[in-house]
Amino acid sequence: MATYSTNEFRGGLKIMLDGDPHAIVENEFVKPGKGQAFNRVKVRNLQTGRVVERTFKSGETVEAADVIDTEMTYLYTDGEYWHFMDPNTFDQIAADERAVGDSAKWLREQDTCEVTLYNGEPLTVQAPSFVELRITQTDPGIRGDTAQGGTKPATLETGAVVKVPLFIEEGEVIRVDTRKGEYVGRVKS
């Protein structure tokens, strides 16, 4: 069982706390000159996303979480699982709805995603920060309204719906920021 000492603590380190994998968000070293040293850390529970604060006496060790971030290619979904492939080993894994979460609506076959594995099983799937997707449905824009900066909903090829400017038309490819779910720009084809 791998362990980390508090002096190895740094942002991003994956550790086990209360039976759940956590990532260290922030590590603060606290020490009175003539006294005991402490590490006050903010950790994010990788299962629930909840951030909590914990304090350790310096020199304590904690179990390392078997968590790795890996780039994988999205293959397809069968409705229940989303299937990914490691482009180097060609190993395939299946992620359930909990792991894929909101990323599902941005996934297009053959796109590369960051998949976080915990004990070899997918814990979270992170869609690329920016994706380029074709609009499959949107109402025609009404000319003259563009000065108002108005928007209208557009359905993308993955099924996601984003707000786009009125001048955008069906069949166009747009760039979307998946972290905010926002239209970024038109992609010239």
Partner 1 sequence: MRERVRAFFAASDALEVETPLLCRTVPAEAAIQPVTAAVDGHEHWLRTSPESAMKRLLAAGIGDCWQLGPVFRDGEEGTHHQPEFTLLEWYRVGFDHHELMDEVEALVAAACAGERTVPVAARWRWRDAFVATLDVDPLVADVAELRRASHEAGAGAVTGLAPDDRTGWLDWLLAAVVVPRLSAEIPLFLHGWPIGQAALARAEDDDPALAARFELYWQGVELANGFRELTDGAEQRRRLEAERSRMARQGEALPPLDEPLLAALDAGLPDAAGVALGFDRLVMLAAGVSSLDQVMAFSFRRA
Least gap, CB of 28 to partner 1 (angstroms): 6
- Closer of 9 and 82 to partner 1 (Cβ): 9
Tokens of 148: 């108002």
DSSP 98: H
Least gap, CB of 123 to partner 1 (angstroms): 24
Per-residue CA distances from 168 to 79, 114, 131, 143 (Å): 30, 30, 17, 11
Which of 115, 135, 133, 132 is CA-nearest to residue 124? 115
- Closer of 15 and 162 to partner 1 (Cβ): 15
Least gap, CB of 23 to partner 1 (angstroms): 17
Tokens of 126: 């992170």
Q: Which residue has the tokens 């905010």?
A: 180
How far apart CA 30 and CA 13 sit, in angstroms, is 19
Least gap, CB of 129 to partner 1 (angstroms): 28
- Closer of 39 and 138 to partner 1 (Cβ): 39
How far apart CA 70 and CA 88 sit, in angstroms, is 11
- Closer of 38 and 81 to partner 1 (Cβ): 38
Least gap, CB of 46 to partner 1 (angstroms): 19
- Closer of 35 and 144 to partner 1 (Cβ): 35
Q: Which residue has the tokens 């563009």?
A: 146
Interface ranges with partner 1 (CB under 8 A): 7, 27-38, 40, 53-60
